[in-house]
Structure formats: structure tokens, C-alpha cells
Amino acid sequence: MILVLAGTSDARALALEIQKEGFDLLATVVTDNAAGELKETGINVQAGRLTAEEMVDLIETRGIQAVVDASHPFAEEASKNAMNAAETVGVPYIRYERESQTFQYEKMKVVENYEEAADIAAAKKGVVMLTTGSKTLQVFTEKLFGKPDIRLIARMLPRVDNMEKCEQLGFPQKNIVAIQGPFSKEFDQALYRQYGVTLMVTKESGKVGSVDEKVEAAKELGIEVIMIGRPKINYGTVYSNFFDVIEELHKKVSSKCTARNNIHFN
């Protein structure tokens, strides 16, 4: 059986391709919503965050033969837990990582972490829109709340835990945009105009995360951008396309298939 850390749209697509190749599969996701989407495709799924110790137990009790980490590029803790668990048990670890993107924009600043992004934003004036989710929201509220010349807008998924986080931090309801993408460049531009955004903060999540649409929309409107770079992690075995991941699985794990089928990807 293969353990796949999923949750994103491309991770779900990869899980389906792995299953089509004849491998038994168990996918893990964080939210019930993501679990529901996977169950609709017929994939066996478990919801909830896992510590490294819990992942070791899961690998051992379910007879996992390999771990495919297709988690979000910024799910740093999940990736480290998966690597540690795979090493502890002695099963192969394979990382699927979305391809990185580069942008040419004179008003863009690329930084290494959320704290650096918050410091730069705090030195600005105007309307700052965060498109970085709720997990690190406190980093920005601590530095930007109370600044008389800054309005902080948070765009995030419309989940209950996100709204609870905003309430705990005292985030004004009028400054919350709870919505799920992906969005077009035109939609992003309309949103920027609606709030009078002067600075947009995002993460280098890859094309699947519609980062290019957000940046291009800001670029055409002359809005400053702060881009948070991906965590620097040595994954070891890492691929950026489905074919190579599945090839690696066939090398290291025996599937139920007695013969290979041709792999076709869009």
C-alpha cells in the first residue's frame, strides 16, 4: 500500500494516477472537505493532521510500502514528519513538488519568510492584502495592527477554523475576504480595485495555486507585491511530474499489476 499526503488539487490528480497503476492507496488530508473530494473519486482517505509518531504508527499498522509526499509546497511540518516517519520505518520517501515560477516585476520583492514580509509591509502605507492563508496571520497582525496608515485585508478559504482564527486575533469582519479559488486575473484585479489594494502579499505556491494570475493582476495595476519563497528543504528524491513519481514507485514497490499499462498524462 502507498501512503499519499494529499489535500491539493494536483495531489488528488496524482493519487488517482497512482491508483490507476494498480497500487493500493491510502491518502491523508487535513480537512474533512478535502477528504470528501477524495472519497468521491473512490480513493481511501484519512482526515486529520498527523505527527511524525502517528505517521510511523500508520505506516506500520497499514503495511505502507512507500510514502508519496504531495503536500502543499508550504506544508513544511507535514513534509518533515513524512520524511522522518519514512526513515524511521525504512520505507521509500518520494516527494512530488510543483514546479517553481519566476516573475519579472520591478515592484516585486522576494523574501525568505513571513516575518520578513510582515516587516516590509509594516513600513508601507495603504491597503495590504494578504493571500497567504490564516496559519501565519498572527505574524502580520502583530506588526500591522494599530498602524494608522495601513488597512490589512485577509483573503482566505471560507473555513470555520479560519474564521475562528480571525475572531481570536480581533480581525475586523469587513477586512476578511472568505472565498475559494482558483481565480482569473480579471477577478483578482476587480478584488484589488474594490479594496484599493496598494500591496499584495503572496506565496510562491506554483501555477496550480494561481500565483501568476495574482501577480499579473497586480502588475497591470501597478500594485506592489511581496512574494514569500518556498521553505528550503532537502527532500532527497523529488519530482515535479506525475510520470516520474510513478516510475519511481514501480522501481521501489511491487504493484498488484502483473503488466505495465501505458501512462498518459494531459
Confidence of residue 35 (pLDDT cuts 50, 70, 90): confident
User: What percent of the chain is modeled with pLDDT above 90?
Assistant: 67
Q: Is 70 exceeded by the pLDDT of residue 263?
A: no
Domains of the chain, earliest start first: 2-99+232-252 (3.40.50.2000), 108-228 (3.40.50.720)
Q: Is 70 exceeded by the pLDDT of residue 257?
A: no
pLDDT of residue 254: 64
Confidence of residue 180 (pLDDT cuts 50, 70, 90): confident
CB 200 within 8 A of CB 214: yes
Q: Mean of the pLDDT values across residues 232-237?
A: 90
Write down the pTM of the prediction. 0.82
Q: Is 70 exceeded by the pLDDT of residue 168?
A: yes
CB contact set of 156 (below 8 Å; sequence gap of 6+): 130, 133, 134, 137, 162, 176, 177, 178
pLDDT of residue 264: 45
Sign of CA dihedral 50, 52, 54, 57: positive
Q: Read off the pLDDT of residues 74-106 as tens digits, 9 standing for 90 and up.
A: 888 999 999 999 999 999 999 999 888 788 899
pLDDT of residue 43: 87
**Cβ neighbours around 61 below 10 Å, total:** 8
**Lowest-confidence segment of 126-130, 132-136, 247-251 by average pLDDT:** 132-136
Sign of CA dihedral 137, 140, 146, 147: negative
First to last CA, the chain: 26
Q: Is 80 exceeded by the pLDDT of residue 207?
A: no
Q: Mean of the pLDDT values across residues 191-220?
A: 90
Q: Read off the pLDDT of residues 52-73 as tens digits, 9 standing for 90 and up.
A: 899 999 999 999 999 999 998 8
pLDDT of residue 244: 95
CB 223 within 8 A of CB 198: yes
pLDDT of residue 41: 82
pLDDT of residue 31: 81
Q: Is 50 exceeded by the pLDDT of residue 236?
A: yes
Q: Is 60 exceeded by the pLDDT of residue 266?
A: no
